[in-house]
Structures are given as structure tokens and as C-alpha cells.
């Protein structure tokens, strides 16, 4: 079996990078939780196009999961290695939990205003965990560019703000969400859907597009109308249950309003108990 | 007048560093608040010996001062430039406040356990401000090594822990405190002392040495004895008033105890209204 070059410790990684340090060549980095799918692969391909060396990390970060979620998260490093190799990834970084969070680790990083805006979602602790590990991985890998999908807009906006506020010396590249033919965002969860659930799940992207269309045409005053359309369209699908919807400013994460330049409509929907999330970004008219 | 090459913005600095990026040569970095004295110069000289390029920053960081302290802090960039040039510094980085903390900056970094241990001193906000700016400066300058005096042990221990917890890719080099002949630690404040105050101020280092001697001989159980000697010796000097003394573990900042491998005795003393601080580090016997 062909398996990509793999480092399981920070020292391993530094050894693999030797000769690339003091480097004129560029490093592209894609942090993942493993369970790689086409969405990840498209990020690897983009990183490969832009950089001399592509590094992918696989780390199931305990700080961003509930205990149960952490335990149940799918882990298949062998299958992931093959996929990474096939995609042309140069180095896989798959550290242990202790390597990343050794005993005595106590650092806490926060973006108080953005976290405040996220409080309604009650998952600030999750994003705090994401930022903690991403910050460490950036410092370990020292990439020139890091690649993230647009599928989690909150995460993307937080990471970009962290980089700006800390002057981290890398570029965050956000990549379009990869979709099925009917618009459903690709996700490892999709294969858990039954045929009828799979067909019902197209409603998420459809509803987001309709909402954004309404919001864009009507300008800032049309946000409540956009949100109404989003809600009604999803509610019209009997198998779908709304967990959370919003139309938010893409810098402040507050509800989109008169000061907003860009915004995104976001939906988290449960279909047959499977949580599907998606979003559509849009600009607000500066006349 | 000879003045060192100076960057006043991050872009300026990047331009000066061009050709040193993709670099095989090393960068040594000394962050300062300006008002340069012999203590700083010795750090510059050490950085020069160890590295190909030496960068010094001068930035009076509003986050680590009271409003009054920030307003009154001495600023003399011209004189500092001459001193930096004479010491062979390659690049001076003297950014504006807005360059480092632009509108919308909201990042907060904390080390909760160490901050908790520092609560008795009531200046956690000060150290939080120090870490915030040091983290940004490290990311901007991207040094291989950064140099700090041992005169502020709390600061040094916090910065080292921040680097470890965040995997920052640089080495923190701690440098011995530079002293006058009678042991007084060099400081820009010393020149504010009258002749009698200057002579009285030798008590600080003397008391610290006596305390450490007692603590080392007696082992862990001798810490209260060491602290008593520290207090009594300073109190015997009529011009000196104790503001704060401690003998602390050099990793946890908690009072030195059975688990401590290394410790330091620390004193903040007011002499004629001038606050003098100093410390002496020591190992605890591992038999």
C-alpha cells in the first residue's frame, strides 16, 4: 500500500522539513480532522497548485468536541494516508494528543467581540478549541498559506481575525464549498442519509440561495425578509428540522445590518438526526 | 548624527528584511520600551554575537501601563537611535501605536494558571498587556532568538511559557542582570536617586542574596526563613519600604515548595518614592 510520508511528532516534522528551512520554497498547509473526503481533496489540490510543498495535518482535537463527539469521531489514518498520497500531499502530520497538548498546557486565546456575537449558538467553547489548535499548528508547520473550506463561515472568519490581530505571517486562503449536483455541500455525513433524506437535504442550499436573492435585491432592510424565506423554505420540507439559521455580517458575526459590507446566510438543519450545515456569502450594495 | 536604519511600519520592516527572507541567516530580536540603558545594550551585544542580523523594537505599549504611566514614560527616539547604532544594531523597529493595535483589535491571550499565581501582585493586566504585544512582535519580526533580561522574572517565565504552549518557533534567551559595583541592578530609574538613596538602594540585592543563601542551605523547609531574612534585611534600611517580596517556583510562580526544582527570590522596594525591583534565582537540591 502506498502511504504518504508521515510525521507523528513535532521533531519528526522538523526533520522532514530540514532542507526546506531557510527556505525559498513555499509551504501550503491544510489542517484537518481526518475522515478525508472530496472537500478535503479539493483543498489539497489547491494547496499543491499554489505551493512547492503541501502539508496536511490530521488531528482530532479534543478541545473542539464534546466528550462523546470526540470518542465517536471516525478515525482511519490508513485510508486517509492513501487518499493524501493519491492527492499528491507531500507530508502528513498526524501527532498524538499529548504532542499537541502536553501536561501543563494552559494557553487560552480569545476574540471577545466575535465570541460574544457567537454566544447565541452556545458553541463558543468549540471555536475556542478550534483557534487554540489552529494557532499551535500554524506555529509548528510555519506555512506560507493555509487552506480552509467556506463551509464553516464562523470558523473561517475567526481564523482570519486571529491571523490579523496576531500578525501571523501567513495567508488564509478560503475555498469554495464543493457541492453535489443538486447543491448539497459535500460532507462525510452525507453517506449516512437514507435515499429520501438525501433527496430532502437539497432544500438547505436551495433555501440559502433564495434567502440571499431576496436579501441582495432588497438591501439591508430586506434581511428579516431573507431570514423569513430561509425559514419558510426549510420548513416546507417535512424531513428537515431547523437547528439554527442566521444572516450575519462577515466581519463582526453580528446580524447583518446597515454597516455590513459582506454577509452570509447560514443554516444548520437536522435531517433524520444528521446535522447538515451550509452557507452562502454575498456582498451588500455600497451605493 | 549617525542613526540606525529604522522602520516605523510593518511594511517598512518587511522591506528592510527582504533578501533576508527565505533566509539561511539568523535574526536576533530585543523588544524594548526605549529609554535605552546599559542593560539594553548588553542584550543588543549578546544578540549581535549570536545572530547575523539584530533587530531592536522600541514600542511604548499602552496595554502594559496605567494611563499616567503611559503618558509619563520617557520617549527619546533620537537618542535611542544613536545608542542602537553605536551598539551595532542592524534595524530599529519603532512602530506607531495604531500600527500595532489598529482599530478593531480584540485578541486576548492568557495563561490562566500563571495569571492566578500572580493575582496577589494585582498586576495581571500589566502582564497580559506584555504578552499581547510580545506575541505580535514575535510574529512580525520572526526572530530565531529573542533576548530578555532576568530583571523581571515574572515576565520572563510568562513569555517562555507562552512560547512553549503556542509552539512559537524561536528561542528565548534570558540574560543575566547587569549590576553596579555594589550590586544594584542597572535601571533607567537609578539616576533619579539622590546620593543617600543611591547608597541605601544596595540593600535590595544584598537582602536577596542573604535570603537565597539561607533558603538554599535549608532546602524547601527554609523558604519561610529566607523570606524572613529578606524582609528583615530590607526593613533595617531606613530609606527602604517593601512593596512586595516573594520566593517563588520558577515554573508555576506559586510560593516555592516541595515540588520546586528552581526558584527565585524577588523584591520590589520603594526608595525615596522610586520603585526598584530585583531578583536572584537559585536551584533547589534534588537529592
Per-residue tens of pLDDT for chain A, all 287 residues: 556 788 888 888 888 887 655 556 899 999 999 999 899 999 999 999 999 999 999 999 999 999 998 998 889 999 999 999 999 999 999 999 999 999 999 999 999 999 999 988 778 999 999 999 999 999 999 999 999 999 999 999 999 999 999 999 999 999 999 999 999 998 878 888 999 999 999 999 999 999 999 988 777 777 889 999 999 999 999 999 999 999 999 999 999 988 899 999 999 999 999 999 999 999 986 54
- At A17, list the grid cell: 522539513
Residues of chain A with a CB closer than 8 angstroms to some CB in chain B = 10, 22-24, 105-114, 135-136, 139-140, 142, 161-162, 165-169
Most B CBs within 10 A among A95, A98, A165, A253, hence the mutation to make, goes to: A165
From A20, which residue of chain B is nearest by alpha-carbon distance?
B22
What whole-number distance in Å separates Cα of residue B112 and Cα of residue B118? 10
Find the mean pLDDT for residues B8-28: 78
Q: Do A112 and B110 touch (CB under 8 A)?
A: no
Contacts of B172 (CB under 8 A, 6+ apart): B145, B146, B148, B156, B159, B160, B163
Q: Residue B18: closest CA among chain A residues belongs to which residue?
A: A24
| Closest partner CB to A140 (pick from B24, B109, B167) | B167
Total CB pairs under 8 A between chain A and B: 67
| CB-based contact A112 B106, cutoff 8 Å | yes
**How far is the C-alpha of A28 from the C-alpha of A148, rounded, in Å?**
11
Angle at B107 between CA A169 and CA A54, to 5 degrees: 30
pLDDT, residue B217, reads 79
Cell numbers representing residue A52 in the block = 512547492
Q: Is the pTM of this model over 0.90?
A: yes
Residue A169: list chain B partners with CB under 8 A: 139-140, 142
Which residue does chain A place closest to B10, by CA atoms? A167
Element (H, E) at B246: strand B240-249
Could A106 and B165 be called an inter-chain contact, meaning their C-beta atoms sit closer than 8 Å? Answer: yes
Mutation target for B interface from A57, A114, A166: give the one with most B CBs within 10 A.
A166
- Contact check, Cβ <8 Å, A167/B114: no
Say if residue B287's pLDDT is above 50: no
Contacts of B112 in chain A (CB under 8 A): 106, 108
The residues facing A173 across adjacent strands are A147
What is the predicted pLDDT for the residue at A285? 67
Residues of A in contact with B108 (CB under 8 A): 109-112
The backbone torsions φ and ψ at residue A14, rounded to the nearest 5 degrees and listed phi first, read -60, -40
Q: Does the beta-carbon distance from A106 to B111 stay under 8 Å?
A: yes
Topology of the domain comprising A6-175: Rossmann fold (3.40.50)
Q: Give the strand order in the sheet containing A171-175.
A: A6-7, A91-93, A53-58, A27-32, A145-149, A171-175
Task: Indicate if the pLDDT at residue B23 is higher than 90.
Answer: no
Give the chain B residue whose CA is nearest to the CA of A113: B106
Residue B20: pLDDT band with limits 50, 70, 90: low
Contacts of residue A248, Cβ cutoff 8 Å, sequence gap at least 6: A117, A254, A255, A256, A263, A264, A266
Read off the pLDDT of residues B193-246 as tens digits, 9 standing for 90 and up: 999 999 999 999 999 999 999 988 777 777 889 999 999 999 999 999 999 999
CATH class of B188-280: alpha beta
Q: A6-175 and A190-281: same fold?
A: no
Which among B107, B111, B114 has CB closest to A111? B107
What is the rounded distance in angstroms from the CA atom of residue B42 to the CA atom of residue B64? 24
At A222 the pLDDT is 79
Give the closest-approach CA distance of A113 to chain B in angstroms.
Answer: 7
Of A107, A162, A165, the CB nearest to B162: A107
Q: Which of A57, A53, A51 is CA-nearest to residue A30?
A: A57
Of the candidates A37, A40, A126, A154, the residue annotated as catalytic is: A40
Architecture of domain A190-281: 2-Layer Sandwich (3.30)
Residue from the list B22, B112, B162 with its beta carbon closest to the beta carbon of A24: B22
Query: Which residues sit opposite B267 in a β-bridge?
Result: B245, B278
Number of H-type helices and E-type strands within chain A: 11, 10
Residue A40 is among the residues annotated as catalytic for this protein: yes
Greater model confidence, B57 or B74: B57
Residue with cell 482570519: A160
**Interface contact B165-A105, CB threshold 8 A:** yes
Catalytic, out of B40, B113, B126, B244: B40
Q: Could you tell me which residues of chain B have a Cβ less than 8 Å from any Cβ in chain A? A: 10, 22-24, 105-114, 135-136, 139-140, 142, 161-162, 165-169
Determine which of A24-33, B61-70, B278-287 has the lowest per-residue pLDDT on average. B278-287
Residue spans of the domains in chain B: they are 6-175, 188-280
Q: Which of A23, A162, A169 sits opposite B22 (nearest CB)?
A: A23
| Whether residue B2 has pLDDT greater than 70 | no
Amino acid at each position: 500500500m502506498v502511504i504518504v510520508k508521515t510525521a507523528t511528532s513535532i521533531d519528526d516534522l522538523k526533520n522532514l522539513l530540514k532542507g526546506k528551512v531557510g527556505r525559498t520554497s513555499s509551504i501550503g498547509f491544510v489542517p484537518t480532522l481526518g475522515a478525508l473526503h472530496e472537500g478535503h481533496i479539493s483543498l489539497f489540490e489547491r494547496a499543491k497548485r499554489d505551493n512547492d510543498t503541501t502539508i496536511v495535518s490530521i488531528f482530532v482535537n479534543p478541545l473542539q468536541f464534546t466528550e462523546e463527539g470526540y470518542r465517536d469521531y471516525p478515525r482511519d489514518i490508513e485510508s486517509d494516508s492513501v487518499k493524501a498520497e493519491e492527492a499528491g500531499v507531500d507530508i502528513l502530520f498526524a501527532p498524538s494528543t499529548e504532542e499537541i497538548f502536553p501536561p501543563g498546557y494552559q494557553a487560552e486565546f480569545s476574540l471577545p467581540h466575535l465570541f460574544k456575537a457567537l454566544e447565541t449558538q452556545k458553541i463558543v467553547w468549540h471555536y475556542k478549541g478550534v483557534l487554540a489548535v489552529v494557532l499551535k499548528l500554524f506555529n509548528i508547520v510555519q506555512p506560507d498559506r493555509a487552506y480552509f473550506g467556506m463551509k464553516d463561515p464562523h470558523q473561517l472568519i475567526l481564523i482570519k481575525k486571529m491571523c490579523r490581530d496576531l500578525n501571523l505571517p501567513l495567508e488564509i486562503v478560503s475555498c469554495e464549498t464543493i457541492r453535489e449536483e443538486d447543491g448539497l455541500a459535500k460532507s462525510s455525513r452525507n453517506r449516512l442519509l437514507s435515499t429520501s433524506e438525501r433527496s430532502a437535504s437539497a432544500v438547505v442550499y436551495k433555501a440559502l440561495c433564495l434567502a440571499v436573492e431576496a436579501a441582495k435585491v432588497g438591501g439591508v432592510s430586506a434581511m428579516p425578509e431573507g431570514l423569513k424565506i430561509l425559514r419558510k423554505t426549510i420548513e416546507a420540507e417535512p424531513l428537515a428540522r431547523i437547528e439554527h439559521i442566521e444572516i450575519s455580517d462577515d466581519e463582526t458575526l453580528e446580524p447583518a445590518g446597515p454597516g455590513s459590507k459582506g454577509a452570509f446566510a447560514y443554516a444548520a438543519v437536522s435531517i433524520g438526526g444528521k446535522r447538515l450545515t451550509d452557507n452562502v456569502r454575498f456582498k451588500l450594495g455600497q451605493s
